[in-house]
A and B are shown apart, each in its own frame.
Chain A
Amino acid sequence: MNKNSPILQVEDLRVSFGTRRGTLEAVDGVNLCLDRGEILGLVGESGCGKSVTAQAIMRLIGNSSGEYVAGRILMDGDDLMLKSEREMSRLRGKRMSMIFQDPMSSLNPVYTVGWQIAEVPIIHDNASRGEAHARAVEMLGMVGIPSPEDRVRRYPHEFSGGMRQRTVIGMSLSCKPDLLIADEPTTALDVTIQAQIIDLLLDLRRNLGTAIILITHDLGVVAEMCDRVAIMYSGYIVEQAPVHELFDNPRHPYTKGLLDSLPRAGRRGRLNAIKGRPPDPGNLPEGCRFAPRCPHAFEKCSKFPTIECVGGDHHVACWLEKKSE
């Protein structure tokens, strides 16, 4: 294993679902690259395919009929698409794990929190019950739950929302995975608790070196946590750049629109809303999918734009970049 090689590479990922209305293309050619210990933000509005991308990387979709996944998902150079379900379950929880928006539904209400965390090392590391219990206490302490020796014997309903999310994070990190996918981890939480969870994830990244894909719609959370950002729209990535570059110098009209539509301190008056709404995945426009809402659309936008590097590590899928040529 080369320490400098990326931990995850996703190449031309496509996901579609067969429905009664025909085939819906949820993800249409996504390329991602994630370095060790890096936090990548995957940002977009509901229905843009960000969660489907994450689930496809975990190979949580593509196993039942009507779900089609194509492309390459390389973890440490190993193609996950070629792995059997058995091999995948050995990886999940051990080298890659995932946390979800709603911590209550990720926890089993009839088992103690400690047992649920201990299960992970028992399955993956052949830990004895004693060791696993000790590991559960250690993990609860690490995610900042007070008096973990006592808390480990409690049930999820005895925890508050913030503590449940801490528990889920502790569980997902108990085998110290290389990759964590966090799907809207703070959306269901109040602001003060959200701030604590952000700090916790940043601390854990620093201490364990876990690479994180953070899926969110909140650009504020992205600015606080991420090293790099990918903006998704209607199934593909329209822009990808380091976080400072993206906020200082957004190039895609959709990214600009998103940033402009945010209410911010000291800027009153009308918000610059993006007109219209995202296209229906069953009835996608030809060419650039943002064109119908784009204030700068021109003839060329009737063709689908490919994502191109525009300098540094900044990639944009927009014909405007080549208009002058």
Chain B
Amino acid sequence: MSHAGWRRKVSKGHFLDVRNLGKYFVLHEGVFRGGRKDLKAVDGVTFHIRRGETLGIVGESGCGKSTLGRTVIRMTEPDFGHVHFDGMDISHATDRELKPLRRRFQMIFQDPYSSLNPRMSVERILEEPLKTHGVDRSERRKRIRALLDAVELPSDAGRRYPHEFSGGQRQRICIARALALNPDFVVADEPVAALDVSVQAQIINLMSDLQHEFNLTYMFIAHDLAVVEHISDRVGVMYLGKLVEVAGSYVLYDEPLHPYTQSLLKAIPVPDPGRQRDRGAEGEVPDPLDPPAACRFHTRCPFAKEICREKEPSFREVRQGHHVACHFAEKFLRDEGSGG
């Protein structure tokens, strides 16, 4: 199938390369729904993911992190920008061109209750993607057994229905379904947010085991910064539709350069009663329909200056592998280097 021209547009580069991706939702307001407003859910986001790594995406509700995840794998159509998946531009492929690729990227959702059809047995749930992609009957049986085994569910689980399982087990079923077609890229949108702490740890462990076993690449979207730090190699922070900082997980949590990342990290309650927390960001996230001009964080930023209200900061590499969108990122970096 290598004859398709669009696949060869970008041959070098990363496993997943996202350039200036955007998604605006149009809202109609007023009595006759004549008023028109753009909700800029994802507004020009650029990042990449290497093969086999996990990129975490964090941000508060409404920052566009879920829309970003869906737009990357074209569950939601992007309005502008490019997504190159393994060298192929999938953001402009037709549905027909996309179908064989669809088996290579899958999604896991937050709510394991609503994402499984209650009237289908686990076996049929797992069989459906295999059928769609033309796997024959005996192969399907084998595959289902292997999947249940991989997510550590008992082999008789196949004949049972979703309501017979607990939240953690249902999430295992969702993971098995996502893995049915042997994908190499999985977008996980808040996969553990609905689970209890002890079960959450089981699912996180399972996801990292599967990553090693099947050489998976993850985009892990969550609001829980501790979970994201734990599972991710690199982490991106979103604020009002923009990516404000991307860095290696250690670096981001040790030396965050964007003031928003700094205040997010200050706000996490740490399970250690001896530690004194600094007070984090003041105020609340502005209305995403009417975000502040220029730097979107300037209304809550303790370091905001004139320039932050006038000019949007560029998203640039401040040091090796560390991208920040803040006018003063270089200054923060220098201050840190000199011990100040």
Contacts and interface: CB of A to CB of B under 8 A. Distances in A.
B292 interface: no
Contacts of A160: 284-285
Contacts, number: 119
Indicate the size class of the contact surface on chain A.
35 or more
B168 interface: yes
A226 B280 CA distance: 19
Residue of B196, B229, B266 with highest tally of chain A CB at under 10 A: B196
Given A198-B269, A220-B268, A223-B272, A190 B61 contact: yes
Interface stretch (B16-24, B42-50, B84-92, B198-206): B198-206
Interface in B237-280: 253, 263-264, 266-275, 277, 279-280
Contact of B226 (A163, A196, A217, A264): A264
Residue of B253, B267, B273, B284 with highest tally of chain A CB at under 10 A: B273
A308 B273 CA distance: 24
Contacts of A223: 269-273, 275
Nearest to B166: A277
B165 to A, nearest CB: 10
A53 to B, nearest CB: 17
Interface string A181-225: 000000000111111101100000000000000000111111110
A46 interface: yes
A13 B231 CA distance: 41
A221 B284 CA distance: 20
B284 A261 contact: no
A257 B197 CA distance: 10
B135 interface: no
Nearest to B200: A261
B278 to A, nearest CB: 9
Given A190-B61, A192-B60, A192-B280, A46 B196 contact: yes
A259 B65 CA distance: 29
Contacts of A142: none
A217 B193 CA distance: 12
B268 to A, nearest CB: 6
A247 B271 CA distance: 8
Contacts of A46: 196
Contacts of B208: 270
Nearest to B260: A192
Contact of A217 (B196, B202, B274): B196
Contacts of B225: 191
Given A222-B271, A265-B270, A195 B277 contact: yes
Given A160-B284, A263-B230, A191 B198 contact: no
Contacts of B229: 263, 265
Interface string B173-210: 00000000000000000000000111111101100100
B269 A220 contact: yes
A273 interface: yes
Nearest to A186: B269
A261 B197 contact: yes
Contacts of B226: 220, 262-265
Going nearest first, the 3 A-B pairs with the smallest beta carbon separation are A220-B269, A263-B230, A273-B201
Interface of A: 45-46, 160, 162-163, 190-196, 198-199, 217-224, 226, 243-244, 247, 257-259, 261-265, 267-268, 270-275, 277
Given A220-B271, A265-B253, A273-B205, 14 more contacts: A46-B196, A190-B60, A190-B285, A191-B264, A192-B263, A195-B269, A195-B280, A223-B275, A226-B273, A257-B198, A263-B204, A263-B231, A270-B208, A273-B201
